[in-house]
Structure 1
Amino acid sequence: MLTRREVESRIGLSRSSIYQRLKDGSFPQPVRYGSRTVRWKESQIAAWLKEQEDKYLRKNCNLVDP
């Protein structure tokens, strides 16, 4: 499980960018541990990063899905 700061470091987004994406549904939801503690599953963050990379490559490198 990753803290918000660990997620920020891995994906290169600020806290406000992460929470904006959470609000619009374009980022994995965290698991809540009490009222002030959240953690993200490492596998979900890795999958999200892969999805972002794939989108970028399809858009900018004229790649098609196999």
Structure 2
Amino acid sequence: MKPKLIRRTEAAAMLGIGQSTLSRMIKDGRIEQPIRLGRRVVGWREETLLALLGEKRDGAGQ
């Protein structure tokens, strides 16, 4: 089964952040670079974002 790819807008919503914050986090290295799907289209593997959400959730209580 092919991994599901999450586009930029959906990724930002999934993480509960804005698109500008998402761009900043990519630039700062806090989120891995997206996979380029076309000239103007990028996405992340769903597992990558779910893992990031798990880290965010685990660190929230500290």
Same fold (TM over 0.5): yes
Per-residue deviation, residues 3-56 of structure 1 (Å, max 9, x unmatched)? 111112211110100000000000132100222110111000000010011111
Structure 1: which amino acid aligns with 2:23? Y
Q: Does 1:33 align with 2:58?
A: no
Q: Select the structure of larger CA radius of gyration.
A: 1
Ranges in structure 1 where 5+ consecutive residues have no aligned partner:
60-66
Percent sequence identity over aligned pairs: 33
Number of residues of Structure 1 aligned to a counterpart in Structure 2: 58
Structure with bigger strand share is 2
**Which residue of 14, 19, 25 corresponds with 1:10?**
14
Ranges in structure 2 where 5+ consecutive residues have no aligned partner:
none
Tell me the C-alpha RMSD between the 2 structures.
Answer: 1.0
Quote the residue 2:53 is aligned against.
49
TM-score (norm 1): 0.80
CA distance in 1, matches of 2:33, 2:51: 13
Instruction: Look up the SS of the partner of 1:18 in the other structure.
Output: helix
